Amino acid sequence: MPEEVTRFLAPRPGGIYVDGTLGGGGHSRLILELSSPSGRLIGFDQDQEALAAAKSILATYGNRASFVGRNVSAIASVMTELGIEAIDGLLLDLGVSSHQLDTAERGFSFQQDAALDMRMDRSASLTAAELVNSSSEDELTRVIRDYGEERWARQIARRIIAARLESPLETTGQLAELVSRAIPRKAWEERIHPATRTFQAIRIAVNDELGSLQRCLQDTVPLLKSGGRIAVISFHSLEDRIVKQFFRDKATGCRCPKDLPVCACGGTPVLKVLTSRPVLASKDEIAANPRSRSAKLRVAEKC
């Protein structure tokens, strides 16, 4: 959603912007172009392959672009390290990247059989294989139910426990087949593979995606200049719900009981929500990139 993102972020010369999910560097390039000649961009990506690719793509912008090989949840400490007291905007394009999905050995997809990995940061210790082979039935059920919104979570967890008693689960193909057998054929949905939600859940757990999102949002608000903006693109309901609720909470002023005649809490809004409803990808973008069909953009501005 490049046009929508840049319209809301409105990059300008001299501004300081953070791309919390560099990926292929497409959004960052637009921000740098629109903030020329003096705008600055700090790009985060915990995936070292993505970081290296973005550095190459954005090399022509010289020292206007800085790169951080960490999760964006570390934004507060990184800004302190860089000597930056305030920023004009933050962009988060959440979820797994197309490159990660399409690179079989990363283990994010069941389209090709590969080792169960799913780490965005390949130096992290926890892999998908370790999670599915060491978690209890209750923990697996919680992960698959809460992060995948999968109604068959308990049955899938039991299948995993039974299968790993014979031998550890090691590949995406093994897990996808096991999940497919755990869900009754009549309950399969037409448009998505039966293992989709389970793979999503395990990926989120391995990378602590929801916790990282919450920490990043919380720590970014104090860094924003007045009029600075947070733009978040999410791809599933869990992320979107967190962003929506966070923006709503920060846009709420007084929290006193309604029957109290005078405000006693002194609460004032910190953010102003600019998108009463999420902005969706255009038909043209969906036609060119089908993965964008589930994208939702929400934006808020610092008061």
Q: Is 25 annotated as a binding residue?
A: yes
Q: Residue 63 phi/psi, 5° resolution?
A: -80, 5
234 and 240 Cβ atoms separated by less than 8 Å: yes
- The structure tokens listed for 87 are 């920023």
- The structure tokens listed for 7 are 């319209």
Overall residue count recorded for the chain in this entry:
303
Q: Is 193 annotated as a binding residue?
A: no
37 prior amide bond cis, ω within 30: yes
Q: Is 148 annotated as a binding residue?
A: no
Query: Exposed, middle or buried by CB within 10 Å (0-12, 13-18, 19+), for 125?
Result: exposed
Rounded Cα gap, residues 70 and 251, in angstroms: 29
- The structure tokens listed for 134 are 């060491």
CA-wise closest residue to 232 among 145, 300, 139: 300
Q: Is 219 annotated as a binding residue?
A: no
Rounded Cα gap, residues 195 and 209, in angstroms: 19
228 and 86 Cβ atoms separated by less than 8 Å: yes
Q: Is 93 annotated as a binding residue?
A: yes
Q: How many C-beta atoms surround the C-beta of residue 128 within 10 A?
A: 23
- Helix axis angle, 196-207 relative to 209-220, nearest 10°? 50
Rounded Cα gap, residues 296 and 283, in angstroms: 14
Binding site members: 25-27, 45, 93, 100
Binding site members for S-adenosyl-L-methionine: 25-27, 45, 93, 100
